């Protein structure tokens, strides 16, 4: 698998309005061997910089910015075809799910809680490097013929998953915006893997899993749930319904690759 072994290969755009915090994070990045660090104070400045030069860039942003939230910044990036595939790392002391959920749904690499250590930041950066460096063809040969159904009410999340799957060489990908639509698709087409969110309108991930396991003619298909759901009782119910694996949002690209491989071997 062609992963970046040195963080020195990365370029970072740091979005941080506090000069003191910006200096601290910049020093941490430099300790990791990253010399190409640009610092801006607002989301608008960040978008302007990225539209001028974005190749190989990793965006590291605080949540609260003078002109917008970090959540607004990542949503704006995901809405721009030239920026939608850039790795995004959020640095925040915020813990409220309703505030962080837009970042989780956007396909962010990591949410690093403040205060954080260099080790925590380093892991997030390696996740971004992994995202920028997909596996070589030889590592994905067994997945090329895979037929995958991606079910998520978030368009940004579906696009993020599609990019990761395409990096694995998977070309046959069908998308559904909720469980009810997924049921219709499953009645008409055969799949090797279903990747679904939990919280969706019409029919959620647990109900979809129960349908597949008890009513679908594809009852044995592996089901991978990728979700921002934090309620342990609900997740336990999903496990009882028969999912093959559960992965938290945000997730590392390598985690999804590993879970897909594990689910297909069950």
pLDDT of amino acid 249: 77
Percentage of the chain modeled with pLDDT above 70: 91
3-state secondary structure 37-90: EEEECCHHHHHHHHHHCCCCEEEEEECECCCCEHHHHHHHHHHCCCCCCCCEEE
- Mean per-residue pLDDT, 206-211: 92
| Domains 7-132 and 137-265 alike in fold | yes
Q: Hey, where are the domains in the chain? A: 7-132, 137-265
The hierarchical CATH code for the domain 137-265 is 3.40.50.2300
Strand order in the sheet with 223-227: 172-176, 147-151, 193-196, 223-227, 245-248
Q: Could you read off the pLDDT of 106-164 as tens digits, one per residue?
A: 777 888 988 899 999 998 898 888 877 766 654 554 677 889 999 999 888 888 888 88
- Mean per-residue pLDDT, 236-250: 80
pLDDT of amino acid 12: 96
- Statement: residue 182 has pLDDT above 80: yes
The hierarchical CATH code for the domain 7-132 is 3.40.50.2300
- Mean per-residue pLDDT, 172-189: 94
- Statement: residue 255 has pLDDT above 80: no
Band of residue 2 on the pLDDT scale cut at 50, 70, 90: very low
């Amino acid at each position: 698998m062609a992963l970046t072994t040195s963080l020195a290969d990365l370029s970072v755009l740091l979005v941080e309005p506090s000069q003191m915090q910006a200096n601290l994070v910049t020093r941490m990045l430099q300790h990791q061997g990253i010399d190409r660090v640009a610092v801006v104070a607002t989301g608008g400045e960040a978008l302007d910089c990225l539209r001028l030069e974005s190749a190989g860039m990793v965006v590291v942003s605080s949540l609260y910015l003078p002109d917008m939230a970090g959540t607004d910044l990542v949503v704006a990036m995901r809405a721009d075809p030239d920026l939608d595939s850039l790795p995004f790392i959020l640095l925040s002391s915020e813990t409220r799910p309703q505030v962080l959920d837009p970042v989780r749904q956007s396909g962010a690499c990591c949410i690093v809680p403040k205060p954080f250590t260099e080790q925590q930041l380093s892991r997030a950066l390696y996740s971004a490097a992994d995202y920028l460096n997909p596996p070589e063809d030889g590592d994905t040969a067994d997945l090329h013929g895979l037929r995958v159904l991606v079910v998520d009410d978030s368009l940004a999340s579906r696009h993020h998953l599609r990019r990761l799957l395409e990096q694995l060489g998977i070309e046959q990908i069908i998308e559904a915006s909720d469980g009810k639509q997924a049921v219709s698709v499953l009645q008409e087409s055969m799949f090797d893997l279903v990747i679904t969110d939990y919280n969706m309108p019409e029919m959620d991930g647990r109900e979809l899993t129960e349908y597949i396991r008890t009513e679908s003619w594809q009852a044995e298909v592996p089901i991978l749930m990728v979700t921002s759901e934090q309620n342990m009782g609900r997740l336990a119910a999903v496990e009882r319904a028969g999912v093959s694996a559960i992965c938290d949002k945000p997730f590392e690209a390598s985690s999804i690759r590993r879970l897909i491989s594990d689910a297909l071997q069950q």
